[in-house]
Amino acid sequence: MTTTPASATSRRPGTAVHRRHTVVDSPYGSLTLVATDGVLSGLYMTEQRHRPPEETFGEPDPRPFTEAIRQLDAYFAGELREFDLPLCLDGTPFQRSVWAQLQLIPYGETRSYGELAETLGKPGASRAVGLANGKNPVGIIVPCHRVIGASGGLTGYGGGLDRKQRLLAFEKGGRDDGPDLSLF
């Protein structure tokens, strides 16, 4: 994966932060894209856990998102498997290391939280990996949906387990017919 992390912590103290946002439709519902100083810093689904307050998203302005929207459209069309976008990921060093590992999970594959912890040289830190995974500010682009429980079961996803299941099925080449409403 060649997504470039542009660390938000490299900003000089006292420097003004300019945020912009836009909302785009996707097969998984509306996505709110947020840019910090022109660099993608957030991708939030409707009703997503850990979604920041809307007033922090800045002014509506689609201009910073042309390339991100193009790549998301290609991904949802099944034509793109790897994103190539600069990102401004604001998190702790551990969170950023987890997010970097997420980007190395190939399209259509999954890893467990424990496997990621071992890869990071922190065996036994699967819960910490899970917490960092849940705070990922750019889901789909940094593919946190590709992380599963040790038993192979679906566990936790900020966008909801239904979306996680649908994204994984989509990437494995299965059909995505939308949410299962049989329980409602």
Q: Where are the domains of the chain?
A: 19-77, 93-172
* Maximum Cα interatomic distance, the chain, rounded to a whole number of Å: 52
pLDDT of residue 171: 95
10 band by pLDDT with thresholds 50, 70 and 90 = very low
> How many Å apart are CA 50 and CA 157, to the nearest integer?
10
User: Tokens 């689609």, residue?
Assistant: 62
Pick the residue with more confidence: 82 or 178? 82
Helix (H, G, I), strand (E, B) or coil at 20: strand
E strand or H helix at 24: strand 19-24
Mean pLDDT of all residues belonging to the chain: 85
The pLDDT of 48-73, averaged and rounded, is 92
pLDDT of residue 150: 83
Residue 81 pLDDT more than 90? yes
Among this protein's residues, is 88 annotated catalytic? no
pTM: 0.83
Residue 97 pLDDT more than 90? yes
Domains 19-77 and 93-172 share a fold: no
Residue 177: beta bridge partners? none
Which CATH class name applies to 19-77?
alpha beta
pLDDT of residue 174: 59
pLDDT of residue 77: 94
Question: DSSP alpha helices (H): ranges in 79-160?
Answer: 93-102, 113-119, 126-134
The pLDDT of 42-46, averaged and rounded, is 91
Of the listed 88, 117, 144, 147, which one is catalytic? 144
152 band by pLDDT with thresholds 50, 70 and 90 = confident
The pLDDT of 143-148, averaged and rounded, is 93
Q: Are 35 and 65 in contact (CB under 8 A)?
A: yes
pLDDT of residue 15: 63
Nearest by Cα to 156 from 49, 70, 55, 32: 49
List, in order, residues 6 or more apart from 10 with CB less than 8 Å away.
none
Burial of 79: CB neighbours in 10 Å, binned 0-12, 13-18, 19+: exposed
Which CATH class name applies to 93-172?
mainly alpha
